[in-house]
C-alpha cells in the first residue's frame, strides 16, 4: 500500500548567497540598460483608438486569445525545459532555482515600462507593443507552470524511478513515459490557472501609460480598461460577457477534454467512483480523423523512442566532474558578461544615488505596508481555498459542476471590476486599504485553489478507500491523508499566489478612475507613481527593493517548506 514517507529534511541552506548577489547585480544591469534605451524612445507615443462598439468585440476577442495562446505556448516550452533541467541536474539546480526565484519575484508591472520603452527605441511602435504584451502575459503564466512541473518531478515515488532504471529507460523515454504523465494533472490545472492569470494582466498588457507614452493594442483587455476608465457600465458588461463566453468555450473544447484524458495518469490501485468525462473528447475519440492521426503518430513515437534509447546525456551524476578545460570563446563570453554586469550595476547604483532620503523612507514604509496586505490576502485565500479545493478535487460530480464556474470567475479580470468595487468601499473605514487587499485576493486566490484541486485530485482512490475502511474521523483523515497529500501543492500555490499579490499591489494601491487618483501607502503605489511620472530612478529602486524582499521571504520561509514537501511528503 502507498503511504506518505517521512524522512528527515536536509539542513537549511543560506538564505542569501554570492550567486544571488550576482544574479541581482545582473538584473540591475539589465534594468539600467532598458532604462538607458528608454531615454531614446519617442517622446510622445499614442496608440490606436479603442472602439467601444459591441461589433468590435469578436475581433478584439480573437486578437487577445491569439496573444494569450502565443504566450502560453512559450510558457509551456520554457517550463518543460527549465523545470526538467532544474529537477534532474543537481549542478544546474543550484543556478536555475535561484534564477527562477528572482524571475518570479520581479514585479511584472514595474518591469513592463522598461520593456516597452526600450523596445520602442528599437522596433516600430506597434511591433514593440505586441512583443511587450506577449512578454507580460508570458511572465504571468510561466512561473506557475514551471514550479508545478518541478514539484511534480521531484516528488515522483521511488518505486517508479527504480522501475524506469530497471527497464533502462533513456532520458527521453523516462520523460515521455514517466515524468510527463506523472506531472500531467498538475500541468493542466496550473495551465488553466496561468490562463486565468493572463486574463488578469491582459488589461495592463494591452493598454499602458508611461509619462507621455500611451501604448495601446486592440483587444479585450484594452476594451475593458477603456470602458472602465470612461465609466461605461454597458461596455464593461458587454466586454465581460464576451470574456466569459471565451472562457466557457475554452473549458468545453480544451480544458475539460484534457482533464478527462489525463485522468488515466493517476497513480491508484482501484478505479475511481466516477471518471471525469467530456462530450467533446468522446466525439473526437470516435472520429475517423483522430484514428487516422493516431495511426500516423504511433510510428513517429516509436522512431523517437528508438532514436533516443541509450542516449542519456542529460543525466549528470552528483559529484561527477566535467572537463575543466573550457573553450576560449566561453571564457571570453563569461568575462564580457561579467564586465557588462559590473558596469551596468555600477551605473544603476549611480542612478539610484540621486534619490533623496525621503524617497528611501517612503520605499521602506511602503514595503512594510504592502507586506501586511500580501500576508492578509494569503491567509484569507487559504481559509477558503483549501476546503473548497479539496471538496472539488475529491468529488468528481461536484468538480463537473463547479469547475466551469471557478474558471469563469477566475478569468474575469478583477482590474475591470475594481473601480466599481473601489467606489463602494471608499465609504467604509479604511476603504482603500480594504479594497487593495480585496483586489490582491481576487487576483491571487485562484493560484491556491487550482493547485489544491490538482493535489486533491492526485490522491489515489485506494488511499481514500483505506481511510474509509479504517473508520478514520474527519480530523484524522485530514491529518494523515489530505494535508500530507496536498502539502506540496499548497506550497507551490502559495509561492505563486504571494508573487501574484506583490504584482497586484501596483494596480491595487494606486488607482485612476473617473479623472481622480486614489492611492494608499505601499511600495506598489510608489512604483505606479514613479511609472506615471517617468521617475526612472525611483522605479529602478522600487523594483530592486521589491525583488530583494520577495527573494528573502522565499528563502527564509517558502524554500524551507518546499524542501520539507520534497523530502517528507511524497507517496512511497
3 state SS for 13-48: CCCCCHHHHHHHHHHHHHHHHHHHHHCCCCCCEECC
R_g of the chain, CA atoms, integer Å = 24
- Exposure string over 418-445, b if 16+ CB within 10 A, otherwise e: bbeebeebeeeeebbbbbbbbbbbbbbb
> Selecting from 1.25.40.10, 2.60.120.260, 3.30.70.240, 1.10.3720.10, what CATH number does the domain 15-267+274-300+355-571 have?
1.10.3720.10
Q: Edge-to-edge, what's the strand order for the sheet holding 207-210?
A: 45-46, 213-216, 207-210
The DSSP secondary-structure symbol of 252 reads I
Q: Going by C-beta distance under 8 Å and a sequence separation of 6 or more, which residues neighbour residue 219?
A: 60, 61, 63, 64, 67, 202, 206
CA 513 to chain centroid? 28
* Helix, strand counts (H, E) of the chain: 24, 7
Across 450-487, b (16+ Cβ under 10 Å) vs e yields bbbbbbbbbbbbebbebeeeeeeeeeeebebbbebbbb
DSSP bridge partners of 512: 517
Query: With DSSP H G I counted as helix, E B as strand and the rest as coil, what are the percentages for the chain, rounded to 5?
Result: 75, 5, 20
In the three-class reduction of DSSP (H, G, I as helix; E, B as strand; rest coil), residue 210 is classed as strand
As a whole number of angstroms, the distance between CA 96 and CA 99 comes to: 5
Quick one: angle between helices 108-120 and 536-553, nearest 10? 140
3-class secondary structure per residue, 360-412: HHHHHHHHHHHHHHHHHHHHHHHHHHHHHHHHHHHCHHHHHHHHHHHHHHHHC
pLDDT in tens, the chain (572 residues): 444 443 333 334 455 566 566 666 766 776 666 666 555 555 445 567 788 888 889 999 999 999 999 999 999 999 999 988 888 887 777 777 777 766 776 666 666 666 766 776 677 777 878 888 888 888 888 888 888 898 888 878 888 888 888 888 878 888 888 888 888 888 888 888 788 778 877 777 787 666 556 677 888 888 887 887 777 778 888 888 888 888 888 888 888 888 888 888 776 655 555 666 777 787 877 777 666 666 666 666 666 666 665 555 444 333 344 344 566 766 777 777 778 778 778 888 888 888 888 989 999 999 999 999 999 999 999 999 999 989 888 887 787 777 777 767 776 666 666 666 666 666 666 667 777 888 788 777 888 888 888 888 878 777 878 888 888 888 888 888 888 888 888 888 888 788 778 877 877 787 766 567 777 888 888 888 887 777 878 888 888 888 888 878 877 887 788 777 767 766 65
- Cβ(225)–Cβ(416) below 8 Å: yes
C-alpha cell at 251: 473549458
Tell me the residue length of the chain: 572
Amino acid at each position: 500500500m502507498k503511504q506518505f514517507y517521512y524522512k528527515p529534511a536536509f539542513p537549511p541552506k543560506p538564505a542569501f548567497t554570492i550567486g544571488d548577489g550576482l544574479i541581482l547585480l545582473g538584473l540591475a544591469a539589465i534594468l539600467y540598460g532598458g532604462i538607458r534605451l528608454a531615454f531614446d524612445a519617442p517622446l510622445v507615443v499614442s496608440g490606436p483608438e479603442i472602439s467601444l462598439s459591441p461589433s468590435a468585440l469578436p475581433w478584439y476577442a480573437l486578437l487577445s486569445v491569439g496573444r494569450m495562446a502565443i504566450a502560453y505556448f512559450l510558457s509551456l516550452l520554457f517550463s518543460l525545459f527549465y523545470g526538467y533541467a532544474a529537477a534532474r541536474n543537481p549542478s544546474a539546480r543550484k543556478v536555475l532555482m535561484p534564477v527562477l526565484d528572482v524571475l518570479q519575484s520581479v514585479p511584472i508591472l514595474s518591469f513592463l515600462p522598461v520593456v516597452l520603452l526600450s523596445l520602442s527605441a528599437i522596433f516600430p511602435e506597434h511591433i514593440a507593443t505586441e512583443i511587450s504584451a506577449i512578454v507580460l502575459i508570458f511572465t504571468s503564466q510561466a512561473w506557475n507552470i514551471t514550479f508545478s512541473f518541478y514539484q511534480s518531478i521531484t516528488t515522483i515515488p521511488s518505486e517508479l524511478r527504480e522501475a524506469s532504471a530497471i527497464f533502462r529507460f533513456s532520458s527521453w523515454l523516462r520523460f515521455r513515459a514517466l515524468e510527463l504523465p506523472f506531472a500531467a494533472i498538475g500541468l493542466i490545472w496550473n495551465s488553466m490557472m496561468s490562463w486565468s492569470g493572463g486574463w488578469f494582466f491582459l488589461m495592463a498588457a494591452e493598454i499602458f501609460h508611461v509619462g507621455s507614452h500611451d501604448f495601446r493594442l486592440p483587444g479585450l483587455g484594452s476594451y475593458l480598461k477603456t470602458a472602465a476608465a470612461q465609466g461605461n457600465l454597458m461596455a464593461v458588461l458587454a466586454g465581460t460577457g464576451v470574456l466569459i463566453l471565451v472562457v466557457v468555450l475554452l473549458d468545453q473544447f480544451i480544458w475539460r477534454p484534457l482533464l478527462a484524458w489525463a485522468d488515466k495518469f493517476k497513480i491508484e490501485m482501484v478505479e475511481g467512483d466516477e471518471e471525469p468525462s467530456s462530450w467533446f473528447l468522446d466525439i473526437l475519440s470516435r472520429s475517423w480523423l483522430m484514428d487516422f492521426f493516431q495511426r500516423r503518430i504511433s510510428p513517429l513515437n516509436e522512431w523517437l523512442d528508438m532514436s533516443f534509447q541509450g542516449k542519456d546525456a542529460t543525466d549528470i551524476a552528483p559529484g561527477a566532474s566535467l572537463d575543466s578545460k573550457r573553450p576560449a570563446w566561453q571564457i571570453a563570453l563569461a568575462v564580457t558578461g561579467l564586465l557588462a554586469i559590473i558596469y551596468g550595476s555600477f551605473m544603476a547604483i549611480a542612478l539610484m544615488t540621486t534619490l533623496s532620503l525621503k524617497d528611501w523612507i517612503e520605499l521602506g514604509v511602503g514595503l512594510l505596508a504592502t507586506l501586511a496586505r500580501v500576508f492578509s490576502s494569503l491567509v484569507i485565500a487559504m481559509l477558503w481555498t483549501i476546503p473548497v479545493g479539496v471538496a472539488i478535487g475529491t468529488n468528481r460530480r461536484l468538480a463537473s459542476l463547479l469547475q466551469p464556474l471557478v474558471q469563469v470567475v477566475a478569468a474575469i479580470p478583477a482590474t475591470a471590476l475594481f473601480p466599481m468595487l473601489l467606489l463602494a468601499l471608499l465609504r467604509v473605514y479604511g476603504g482603500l486599504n480594504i479594497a487593495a487587499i480585496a483586489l490582491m485576493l481576487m487576483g491571487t486566490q485562484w493560484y491556491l485553489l487550482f493547485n489544491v484541486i490538482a493535489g486533491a485530485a492526485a490522491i489515489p482512490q485506494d488511499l481514500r478507500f483505506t481511510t474509509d475502511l479504517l473508520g478514520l474521523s474527519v480530523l484524522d483523515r485530514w491529518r494523515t491523508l489530505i494535508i500530507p497529500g496536498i502539502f506540496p501543492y499548497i506550497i507551490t500555490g502559495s509561492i505563486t499566489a504571494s508573487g501574484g499579490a506583490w504584482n497586484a499591489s501596483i494596480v491595487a494601491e494606486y488607482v485612476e478612475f473617473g479623472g481622480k487618483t486614489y492611492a494608499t501607502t505601499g511600495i506598489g503605489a510608489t512604483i505606479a507613481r514613479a511609472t506615471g511620472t517617468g521617475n526612472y530612478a525611483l522605479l529602478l529602486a522600487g523594483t530592486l527593493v521589491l525583488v530583494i524582499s520577495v527573494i528573502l521571504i522565499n528563502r527564509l520561509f517558502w524554500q524551507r517548506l518546499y524542501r520539507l514537501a520534497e523530502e517528507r511528503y511524497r507517496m512511497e
